[in-house]
Homo-oligomer: A and B are copies of this chain.
Amino acid sequence: MEKSTRPVSRFPVPEIASLPEDVRSRILAVQEKSGFVPNVFLTLAHRPAEFRAFFAYHDALMEKEGGLTKAEREMIVVATSGANQCQYCVVAHGAILRIRAKDPRVADQVAVNYRKADITARQKALLDFAMKVSRQSEAISDGDFEGMRAAGFSDEDIWDAGAIAALFALSNRMANLTSMRPNDEFYLLGRVPKESAPR
C-alpha cells in the first residue's frame, strides 16, 4: 500500500522536537502506545494552548468513568462525525470504535446510518439523542431527557452523551477547517487480528 502524500494539515505542522515539553511528551506517549502519531496531534500542535485545552476536554469526556461504555462514547463520535462529513474523525474514531467494541463492522454501519446498525435499542436511543444535540440542539427538550431516562440513562450519562456530541462538533469543524488527513494506519485497525495486519 502506497503511503498518502497529501499534507497533514492546511496549516504548518511543527517539528515534534520543537514543541513545549508537555505537548511533546503527550505526543511521544501516544506514539509509544499506538505505533504512530495520529495527525490530530500534529495539526493541533501548531497552537499549543489550544492543543492542551482540546486534549484536556477529550480526556475529561472519553477517559472518565461513567454509565456509557467506551465503545458507546466512540459510537457517538462516529455517528455525529458521519453526519458532519468529517473524514478524519470517521476514519480515526471508526478504528477506535472497532477496537473498543471488538467488532469489525459496527463503525462502517454507524458512520453511514446508525438507525440500521447492529447495535442495541438502548444504543439507538443514545445515538438519537446525541445526533439531535449535534445537528439540532436548539430543539432539545425535556421530552428528550425523559426519553433518555426511559432508555435507562442517568442524568450524568445524558450530560456525557451531549457533551461528547458537543466536543466533536468542535473537533469536526477543526478537522474540516485544517483539511486534516487521516493517518494510513487507521484504515485497517480493528479490522483484522493484530498479528495479521500488514505493516
A112:B111 contact, CB within 8 angstroms: yes
Q: Are A140 and B57 in contact (CB under 8 A)?
A: no
Determine how many copies of this chain the complex contains: 6
**Contact partners of A188 in chain B: CB under 8 A:** 104, 191-192
Q: Decide: A133 and B176 in contact? CB cutoff 8 A.
A: yes
Taking CB atoms, residues of chain B closer than 8 Å to A170 are 166-167, 169-170
How would you classify the secondary structure of chain A's contact residues: helix, strand, loop or mixed? helix
A171's closest neighbor in chain B, by CB?
A: B166
Task: Flag whether A21 is at the interface (Cβ < 8 A).
Answer: no
Q: Smallest Cβ distance from A106 to chain B, in angstroms?
A: 10
Number of A positions contacting B (CB below 8 A): 72
Q: Bound complex: CA of A115 vs CA of B179, how far in Å?
A: 10
Question: Is A17 among interface residues, defined by CB-CB distance under 8 A?
Answer: no
CA distance A112 to B175 in the complex (A): 13
Expressed in whole angstroms, the minimum distance between the Cβ of A76 and any Cβ of chain B is 12
Q: Are A173 and B165 in contact (CB under 8 A)?
A: yes
Q: Is the CB of A105 within 8 A of B184?
A: yes
CA distance A11 to B197 in the complex (A): 38
- In the A-B complex, list the 8 residue pairs whose CB atoms are closest, starting with the nearest: A85-B138, A53-B57, A166-B173, A49-B60, A137-B176, A162-B177, A53-B56, A170-B170
